[in-house]
Amino acid sequence: MVAALDAGVPLWSAVEAAGHAVGSTLGDMLVEVRRRQQVGADASTATALLRADEVSARVGRAIARAASSGASPVQVLAAAADAERGRLRSHAVSTARSAGSLAALPVGLLLLPAFVLVAVVPLVVGSLSSLLGPA
C-alpha cells in the first residue's frame, strides 16, 4: 500500500490493491474496507473491522485519518510494516533458538544408554570381578 500511495494512487484504490496483493486475512479485510467505502460508509465505519489486532488497527487508523484529513498515511503505514516485520523476525529467531534445546533431548536419550553400555557396564563388571576374585 505504501508503494502505491508513493506512486500517487488514490487512497481507496491503494487499499483495494493492497488487499488483493496481500491475500491473507488482512488482505480480505482491506478488500472489505474498500467495498464498504464504495457503498457509502464513512472512513471510520469502513475501517472498523480492522480493529481485530494491533497491526491491522494501526493500518485502519491511518486509513481513516488519511481519508478524513487528506494527510498522507505513508509514514504511519511504513512504521507499522517495519514494526510487524521486526516482531515476526524476533519470533522466528526465538523459535530457531528453542529448536536447538528441543533437539538436545532426543540426542541425549539416544546417547545415554550407549554411554552406559560402553563405559559404565564394563567398569562395573571389571570392579565386581576384581572384588569377588577368581571363581
Task: Using the predicted structure, report yes or no on whether residue 135 has a pLDDT greater than 70.
Answer: no
**How would residue 98 be classed by pLDDT, with cut points 50, 70 and 90?**
confident
Whether the model pTM is above 0.85: no
21-77 residue pLDDT tens: 987 888 899 999 999 999 998 888 888 888 888 888 888 999 999 998 888 899 989
Which residue, 8, 90, 91, 24, is CA-closest to 59? 24
Question: Which residues contact residue 58 at a Cβ distance below 8 angstroms, ignoring those fewer than 6 apart?
Answer: 76, 80, 83
Count CA atoms closer than 13 A to 120's CA, side-chain side.
7
Name the average pLDDT for the chain.
Answer: 88
